[in-house]
Amino acid sequence: MRFASDNTSGAAPEVMAAILKANEGYERSYGADAAMARVTDLVREIFEAPQAVVHLVATGTAANALAIATHCPPWGAVFCHQHAHIAEDECNAPEFYSGAKLVLVPGAHGKITPETLGQALSTTGESGVHGVQRGMLSLTNVTEAGTVYTPAEIVALTALAKAKGLPCHLDGARFANSLVTTGATPAQMTWKAGIDVLSLGGTKNGCLGVEGVVLFNPEKAWELELRRKRGGHLFSKHRFLSAQMEAYLTDGLWLRLAAQANAMGQRLVQGLRDRQAHVPPADANMLFPEWPIGHHDRRLKLRVPPTTAFRPPKAANAPGSSRRGPRPRSMSTASWTPSDPIASQRRIFAPLAVPGVCNRKTR
Ligand SMILES: Cc1ncc(COP(=O)(O)O)c(C=O)c1O
């Protein structure tokens, strides 16, 4: 087990094998490859959406930025959680690609609520030509706090957006993990819940580098295609993206990998809680535990039993606080780890020397 972001893991052997296979011979370029046609078929079947259109890109940031630019006008507001990845971790790419403004909506544990969204919707877009207009809703599942929206929770939010005529986006960088947690089908979690466009994650869950933008409304497909090219995200040797996504979606690999990552995540949550660490709600493979700096080192040196009383850390930035910033260190368990047991064992101990509370997310 490695105590770091799932971004630090390798790719699944099935995905690597597919890339090697795609390297044989010659193939058509720029998305006209045969594997891409199979990816479209797989997405349509898995999502029970025969009209769906999918475009592949190499990063989640590109998927989000293109999805948003295609659905929100430059004078529009994108309603998203205050800690959404699009708001905090994408260097303004969504604003850059769309020209739109992000309106940050609060909510505990990474989740927007109908109340907070209702409030934001009612106070935005009310100043006529002078102010920002309501543009679209963007949710994230698994959320940035490691919690998971159920389909019912998504419906409650998209219904409010739809009542104002707004399209809805789902950042699914860890979409498979959210399916495993809830047991929902891909359709229940997306178009049946009012989602118009999905950023379908692959990289965090065992791919080398591929994400899909899935449009449930095919009317926007050509615009997205043009924006992908104009934004420099249309790969010439596209078959290497297609091969990854095809392997990922074939025979349920994506769900098996997510189930493994979630199971390890929950084991980690339990283990930390048993040792009195403070672990906020963590529904899938991502957690934000907190414990005082030096806690591990002391425990390892003194061989203090796991029941040692835990003193919660002082509030961030409080006088004398050991926390240097507002956000704790994140951990997300990867779906795939190397099989070398000695290397894995070494990894278990290495991060224990790292200060337990850090002011930046791990990447
Ligand atoms: C929720 C979420 N969305 C989007 C992204 C963006 O992915 P990328 O780093 O590939 O641009 C990440 C990356 O960690 C993420 O956690």
CATH number of residue 159's parent domain: 3.40.640.10
Mark the ranges of the chain whose per-residue pLDDT is less than 70. Answer: 1-2, 292, 296-300, 302-330, 335-363
Question: What pLDDT score does 90 carry?
Answer: 98
- Which residue among 64, 85, 138 is best mutated to probe the pocket of ligand 1, counting the most ligand atoms within 8 A of its Cβ? 85
d(CA 201, CA 142) in angstroms, rounded, equals 11
Residue 7 in any domain: the answer is no
Residue 70 in any domain: the answer is yes
Q: Whose CA is nearest to atom 13 of ligand 1?
A: 60
Write out the two tokens for 148: 């998971």
144 ligand 1 Cβ < 6 A: yes
CA of 357 to the centre of ligand 1 (A): 22
229 with 292, same domain: the answer is no
Residue 3 in any domain: the answer is no
Q: Are strands 286-287 and 331-332 parallel, antiparallel or unpaired?
A: antiparallel
115 with 243, same domain: the answer is yes
Question: What pLDDT score does 5 carry?
Answer: 87
Residue 317 in any domain: the answer is yes
d(CA 281, CA 275) in angstroms, rounded, equals 16
6 ligand 1 Cβ < 6 A: no
For residue 241, what are the contacts with CB-CB under 8 A and spacing of at least 6? 56, 57, 58, 209, 210, 235
152 with 239, same domain: the answer is yes
Residue 4 in any domain: the answer is no
Q: Which atom of ligand 1 is nearest to the CA of 174?
A: 1
CA of 336 to the centre of ligand 1 (A): 18
Write out the two tokens for 169: 């986006």
d(CA 290, CA 278) in angstroms, rounded, equals 5
- Which residue among 59, 61, 244 is best mutated to probe the pocket of ligand 1, counting the most ligand atoms within 8 A of its Cβ? 61
CA of 61 to the centre of ligand 1 (A): 6
180 with 76, same domain: the answer is yes
How many domains does the chain fold into?
Answer: 2
CA of 173 to the centre of ligand 1 (A): 6
Question: What pLDDT score does 363 carry?
Answer: 56
d(CA 9, CA 349) in angstroms, rounded, equals 17
Question: What pLDDT score does 111 carry?
Answer: 98
CA of 60 to the centre of ligand 1 (A): 5
In this prediction the pTM is 0.85
Residue 342, classed as helix, strand or coil, is helix
CA of 341 to the centre of ligand 1 (A): 29
136 with 237, same domain: the answer is yes
Question: What pLDDT score does 57 carry?
Answer: 98
38 with 93, same domain: the answer is yes
Question: What pLDDT score does 4 carry?
Answer: 82
Question: What pLDDT score does 337 carry?
Answer: 52
Residue 360 in any domain: the answer is no
Task: Report the CATH number at residue 293.
Answer: 3.90.1150
Q: Domain range holding 265? A: 254-353
235 with 294, same domain: the answer is no
d(CA 175, CA 173) in angstroms, rounded, equals 6
272 with 202, same domain: the answer is no
120 with 247, same domain: the answer is yes
Q: Whose CA is nearest to atom 5 of ligand 1?
A: 60
- Which residue among 5, 6, 59, 89 is best mutated to probe the pocket of ligand 1, counting the most ligand atoms within 8 A of its Cβ? 89
87 with 194, same domain: the answer is yes
Residue 184 in any domain: the answer is yes
- Which residue among 171, 175, 200, 211 is best mutated to probe the pocket of ligand 1, counting the most ligand atoms within 8 A of its Cβ? 171
178 ligand 1 Cβ < 6 A: no
131 with 25, same domain: the answer is yes
Question: What pLDDT score does 180 carry?
Answer: 98
Preceding omega of 142 cis (within 30 degrees of 0):
yes
Q: Whose CA is nearest to atom 6 of ligand 1?
A: 60
Question: What pLDDT score does 342 carry?
Answer: 32
130 with 275, same domain: the answer is no
Neighbours of 355 (CB within 10 A): 17
Task: State the DSSP string of 202-261.
Answer: -GGGT-SS-EEEEESSGGGHHHHHHHHHHTT---TTTHHHHHHHHHHHGGGHHHHHHHHH
